[in-house]
Amino acid sequence: MLSFTLNGLRFKNPLILASGILDESGETMLKVIEHGAGGVVTKSIGRKPREGYENPVIYELPYGLLNAIGLANPGIENYGEEIKVAKKGGVPVIGSVFGSTVEGFVYLAKKMEEYGADAVELNLSCPHAKGYGMEVGTDIALVEEIVEGVKKEISIPVWAKITPNTENLVKIAKAVEGADALVLINTVKAMAIDIEAGMPVLSNKFGGLSGPCIKPIGVRAVYEVYREVEKPIIGVGGITYGRDAIEYLMAGATALQVGTAVYLRGIEVFSLIAKEMEEWMEKHGYAHFTELIGLAQVR
Amino acid sequence: MYRVVEIEEVVTETPTIKTFFFRDNSEPQPGQFYMIWLPGVDEFPMSISYIGEIKGFTVKRVGAGTARMHQLQKGDKLWIRGPYGRGFRISQKKALFVGGGSGMATLAPLIDMMPGDVVIAARTRDELLFRKRFAGRKVYLATDDGSEGFKGFAHELVEKLLHQEDYEIIYTCGPELMMRKIIDIAISKGIDVQASLERLMKCGIGICDSCSINGYRVCVDGPVFFKDELVKMKDLGKYKRDKAGRRVPL
Ligand SMILES: Cc1cc2nc3c(=O)[nH]c(=O)nc-3n(C[C@H](O)[C@H](O)[C@H](O)COP(=O)(O)OP(=O)(O)OC[C@H]3O[C@@H](n4cnc5c(N)ncnc54)[C@H](O)[C@@H]3O)c2cc1C
Ligand SMILES: Cc1cc2nc3c(=O)[nH]c(=O)nc-3n(C[C@H](O)[C@H](O)[C@H](O)COP(=O)(O)O)c2cc1C
Ligand code: FES
């Protein structure tokens, strides 16, 4: 009911761990896999080790999370062992990378391939690190070059994760159509102020909003891009229950990623959502989840 | 979201440790922790050291954040979130509590709630924490420099005590190398053990992976771990993860 193949990779279910959540170390990714994830995306890895921002880097809200971890990561040269360990879980391991130039992305992607990653996800969309992610991700010519550059140099599938923090979502999606799949959305640029302290909570001031409150933004993004782009879309943003997963599928997603729900429902969230999807499909007479893809599109 | 609490009293426990008392209507278990934010300074994890209507954090000064906290006085505010994590599991077994340095802060509310003998260990006499807190039970002191009580490391005293009494469980919190040794002793003697671990914490809510040790998240799966989990932690006492997530020698 839930197994499928995407870009030649076999997934037991479409619920993939989103980048940046419990995926810095290989052993933690193994735990997530044990709890039912169909695949895992690593934390976004860069050229050099990065400590990230000072605490507070996370803020809990009644409707989601605000974070500015600041792309903390051990650096690509230290990451081979983590991939090797995560691969023991027997599901696809997708290496997420971030950079600021075509050469930078190519270098990182090649390393991920060498380490045994099953695919590479290009983080073109982190909203709170200067000179990376979103700043890169809204430069239409640059994202196109990055995707083309990486595609030429590696043979494993390339996923492009794009930012929702732009009016040019569809243009950017089209610019990265050379990728094997598009991942949307990353977090939504946001801020929270503690009124007792009279200052922004995050040490970086700005952060990225995730969780249930961004689901309508993600669903809209997937719906819009599905109409314009031929490549498969991986939907992410606020997927917490089976019904959220179904909603993204109906908007046009082929696969899904889950992040903040790990905090909301615990690490067992992957098997919980899978079960809820199956129950819903049984009740509504669907034999396989792929029947739902794009169902809500009004043509 | 943070709750703002007011400091009602500050007690100087040792030259480097102070307790901050406050009111808050959360209901923590011994071994659980909070994240304390000092706006514009830092946010860091702190165990609860007094449970009840008046609660306490007992804080050792180690870096910029805790140094700033040590300047706070009665009437100043703390921004807190929590309680977080899994605390100690109370058992009926004959217990020995072993606290090293500020680790005693984490163990103290548990000791208040159940019987057992106590080992308080520190580098030197002035740093022995809570030596007067546990009236009416056996309290053994140990100092590295021998300025008071047993001269030597906590685990050496524990080995000695295990020859005298049939303890069935050890509860411990303190420097990681001390806990590693005590866990090894417990394993070799077939005694039960629970340990409260400390790791670098960024989120405190189980999503960032910065506190993980061999696949266990200290912030939500712990900070208190049980024997069957501790035996699987190959990195305990050997490796930690730095702020960038690199696995580095302890
Ligand atoms: C679950 C949990 C519960 C805790 N409970 C308590 C408690 O009840 N009482 C208490 O005093 N502390 C406790 N700690 C430790 C406390 O969180 C740290 O001491 C604090 O974060 C240091 O912050 P800082 O800004 O002062 O130092 P930082 O600026 O972060 O660090 C300054 C220097 O101190 C070193 N350092 C940092 N943390 C520690 C540490 N834990 N031990 C030794 N050196 C360190 C750093 O390597 C650095 O060199 C707990 C930690 C955890 C994870
Ligand atoms: C704490 C945290 C860290 C994140 N780090 C990354 C990252 O390193 N790279 C990335 O592409 N996305 C990162 N994200 C974004 C998520 O992968 C995801 O796109 C977003 O959170 C929306 O999904 P969710 O609502 O299921 O969390 C992070 C999100 C959170 C909450
Ligand atoms: S501190 Fe973030 S997972 Fe534990």
Q: Given a cut of 70, is residue B23 above it in pLDDT?
A: yes
Q: Are B192 and B169 in contact (CB under 8 A)?
A: yes
Q: Given a cut of 60, is residue B101 above it in pLDDT?
A: yes
C-beta atoms of B247 and A25 within 8 A:
yes
Instruction: Identify which of B81, B210, B216 to mutate to test ligand 3's pocket (most ligand atoms within 8 A of the CB).
Output: B210
Percent of chain B with pLDDT over 70: 100
What was the pLDDT predicted at A125?
Answer: 80
What was the pLDDT predicted at A135?
Answer: 65
C-beta atoms of A55 and B244 within 8 A:
no
- For B73: left if phi > 0, alpha if psi spans -120 to 50, otherwise beta; the answer is beta
Q: pLDDT tens, position by position, for chain A (299 residues)?
A: 999 999 999 999 999 999 999 999 999 999 999 999 999 999 999 999 999 999 999 999 999 999 999 999 999 999 999 999 999 999 999 999 999 899 999 999 999 999 999 999 999 985 555 566 556 667 888 999 999 999 999 999 999 999 998 889 999 999 999 999 999 999 999 999 999 999 999 999 999 999 999 999 999 999 999 999 999 999 999 999 999 999 999 999 999 999 999 999 999 999 999 999 999 999 999 999 999 999 999 87
- Cβ contacts of B155 within 8 Å, gap of 6 or more: B178, B181, B182, B185
- Select from B43, B7, B42 the least CA-distant residue to B23: B7
Quickly count: other Cβ atoms within 10 Å of residue B138's Cβ: 12
Q: Are A254 and A6 in contact (CB under 8 A)?
A: yes
What was the pLDDT predicted at A131?
Answer: 62
Max distance between CA atoms of chain B, in angstroms, equals 51
Residue numbers of A between 205 and 234 with CB closer than 8 Å to B = none
Residue numbers of A between 33 and 92 with CB closer than 8 Å to B = 43, 49-52, 54-62, 65, 67, 69, 72-75, 78, 81
Q: Are A149 and A106 in contact (CB under 8 A)?
A: yes
Q: Strand A188-190 and strand A207-210: pairing?
A: antiparallel
Domains defined for chain B, CATH in brackets: 3-84 (2.40.30.10), 95-249 (3.40.50.80)
- Looking at every residue in chain B, the average pLDDT score rounds to 96
- Select from B167, B178, B128 the least CA-distant residue to B149: B128
Q: Is the peptide bond before A56 cis (omega within 30 degrees of 0)?
A: yes
Q: Shortest Cα distance from B206 to chain A (angstroms)?
A: 6
Structure tokens at B29: 């278990």
A220 CB-contact burial (10 Å; exposed 0-12 / middle 13-18 / buried 19+): middle
What are the backbone dihedrals phi and psi of residue B234, each rounded to the nearest 5 degrees, phi first?
A: -65, -30
Domain ranges of chain A: 4-50+83-187+211-292
- Residue A67 CA to residue A58 CA, distance in Å, equals 4
- Select from B67, B63, B28 the least CA-distant residue to B48: B28
Query: Which residue has tokens 């909570």?
Result: A201
- Select from A130, A128, A117 the least CA-distant residue to A159: A117
Number of inter-chain CB pairs under 8 A, A vs B: 112
Q: Is the peptide bond before B83 cis (omega within 30 degrees of 0)?
A: yes
Alpha helical stretches, state H, B48-102: 64-71
Closest chain A CA to residue B203: A58
C-beta atoms of A57 and B42 within 8 A:
no
pTM above 0.80, yes or no: yes
Q: Given a cut of 90, is residue B19 above it in pLDDT?
A: yes
Q: Strand B33-38 and strand B77-84: pairing?
A: antiparallel
What was the pLDDT predicted at B167?
Answer: 97
Q: Are A161 and A96 in contact (CB under 8 A)?
A: yes
- Residue A123 CA to residue A147 CA, distance in Å, equals 11
Q: Choose the closest CB to B81 out of A60, A81, A262.
A: A60
Chain B residues with CB inside 8 Å of A25's CB? 209, 212, 215, 241, 245, 247
What was the pLDDT predicted at A150?
Answer: 97
- Residue A47 CA to residue B224 CA, distance in Å, equals 35
Q: Strand B17-23 and strand B33-38: pairing?
A: unpaired
Q: Shortest Cα distance from A171 to chain B (angstroms)?
A: 32
Smallest CA separation from ligand 3 atom 3, residue: B206
**Domain A4-50+83-187+211-292: what homologous superfamily?**
Aldolase class I (3.20.20.70)
- Select from B165, B193, B26, B19 the least CA-distant residue to B106: B19
What was the pLDDT predicted at A181?
Answer: 98
Q: Are B30 and B87 in contact (CB under 8 A)?
A: yes
| B201 CB near ligand 1 (under 6 Å) | yes
Q: Are A48 and A38 in contact (CB under 8 A)?
A: no
